[in-house]
Amino acid sequence: AQSVAQPEDQVNVAEGNPLTVKCTYSVSGNPYLFWYVQYPNRGLQFLLKYITGDNLVKGSYGFEAEFNKSQTSFHLKKPSALVSDSALYFCAVRDMGDSSYKLIFGSGTRLLVRP
């Protein structure tokens, strides 16, 4: 069965500092990995995805994520945080061999960037 773990409920960082939001996953086959961001009372916005290829994936708003197969991780990073990055971030995984296209989400990590 697929699962995603986001070990941190909240990450606090000062504006201008680098940020990392952690994610580890478990799938039986090869993974498709995604990061989404959610602002209050809104749906989820797609940030980036890993399918195949380079382990470092670049996405929207300056975010990037690194796929590490041996550690089964897909941590989200940004070199310099902005106050406007404060939101709820979700990591998600789909098994490449799953024809249902179901996406399984982690529990979410709240990012708080202080001025």
Partner 1 sequence: GAVVSQHPSWVICKSGTSVKIECRSLDFQATTMFWYRQFPKQSLMLMATSNEGSKATYEQGVEKDKFLINHASLTLSTLTVTSAHPEDSSFYICSAIQGHNSPLHFGNGTRLTVT
Nearer to partner 1 by C-beta: 49 or 77? 49
In 3D space, the residue among 24, 21, 19, 18 whose CA is nearest the CA of residue 8 turns out to be 21
Q: Is 101 in the site for partner 1 (CB under 8 A)?
A: yes
Residue 63 in contact with partner 1, rule: CB under 8 A? no
Scored b (16 or more CB within 10 A) or e, 25-57 reads bebeeebbbbbbbeeeeeebeebbbbeeeeeeb
Residues 30-49 that bind partner 1 (CB under 8 A): 32, 34, 36, 41-46, 49
* Interface contacts to partner 1, rule CB under 8 A: 32, 34, 36, 41-46, 49, 51, 90, 92, 100-108
